[in-house]
Amino acid sequence: MTPSIPHHALLVTSSLSGEAGTSSALARDYLDRLATRGPDLRITHRDLAGDPPPHLDAETFAAFGTSPDERSAVQRERVAWSDAAIAELRAADLVVVAAPMYNFGVPSALKAWMDHVARAGITFRYTDRGPQGLLTGRRAVVVSTRGGRYAGTAADSQTPFIETFLGFLGLGPIEFVHAEGLAMGEDHAAAALESAQRDLERLAA
């Protein structure tokens, strides 16, 4: 089934190279392709490398667990970043995550974002049948760039992690586009980028 044209995309980038990062550029290419299908597409950009979220600490986690009317001024400040990031997710019907592989995982700023948007009772809840995501009705596309090649092997620490995380919040379907072997010579890199572009074209069609 062809997915419906999204109205509001949230672009989450995390490359240290900002807009020049390969993951950021591929994600932008995807959104540009989508915009040709739905010119009214609205895009909200959350640049996690340029404006990194604070690491989740004990005080912030305690503030998450305190009801809003009982929070101190300091606690209100502590939850503000998280509330803003969750509002961006809620407003979107498509979430595009640009995730380079750094040291065999996701960039630490992307992990910190995850720590701020996973909130019990707000973006997921526990039930007697296990956790239930509360951000349903949103598709996700993850653009993952790597110097080496790992997709489909046990060394791919990113794909199952990101898929599990976004699914835990209720997002779906979740599609991955990998550009791999970007540090394995020009030929490998060119072929990987071409293949990623083809995948993005297919997803945007």
Ligand X SMILES: Cc1cc2nc3c(=O)[nH]c(=O)nc-3n(C[C@H](O)[C@H](O)[C@H](O)COP(=O)(O)O)c2cc1C
Nearer Cβ to ligand X (23/75): 23
- Cα 57 → chain centroid: 21
CB proximity list for 52: less than 8 A, separation 6 or greater: 109, 112
Close Cβ partners of 97 (under 8 Å, ≥ 6 residues apart): 12, 14, 27, 110, 140, 141, 142, 143, 162, 166
Q: Which residues partner with 202 through β-bridges? A: none
Question: Cα(27)–Cα(25) distance, rounded to whole angstroms?
Answer: 5
Cβ of residue 161: shortest distance to ligand X, in angstroms?
A: 14
Nearer to ligand X, 60 or 159 (CB): 159
Residue with tokens 């293949």: 195
Of residues 24 and 159, the one with the C-beta less far from ligand X: 24
Least distance (Å) from ligand X to the CB of residue 162? 14
By CB atoms closer than 10 A (0-12, 13-18, 19+), residue 146 is buried
Q: Which is nearer to ligand X, 131 or 147 (CB)?
A: 147
Nearer to ligand X, 102 or 168 (CB): 102
Shortest separation between residue 103's beta carbon and ligand X, angstroms:
5
CB of 93 to ligand X, least distance (A): 24
User: In terms of CB distance, is 25 or 118 closer to ligand X?
Assistant: 25
Between the CA atoms of 2, 26, 14 and 51, what dihedral angle is there, to the nearest 10 degrees?
A: -100
Q: How far is the CB of 112 from ligand X (least distance, A)?
A: 16
Residues forming the site for ligand X (CB under 6 A): 15-17, 21-24, 100-104, 145-148, 182-183
Least distance (Å) between residue 137 CB and ligand X: 28
CA distance 55 to 112: 6
State the CB neighbour count (10 A cutoff) for residue 37.
Answer: 11
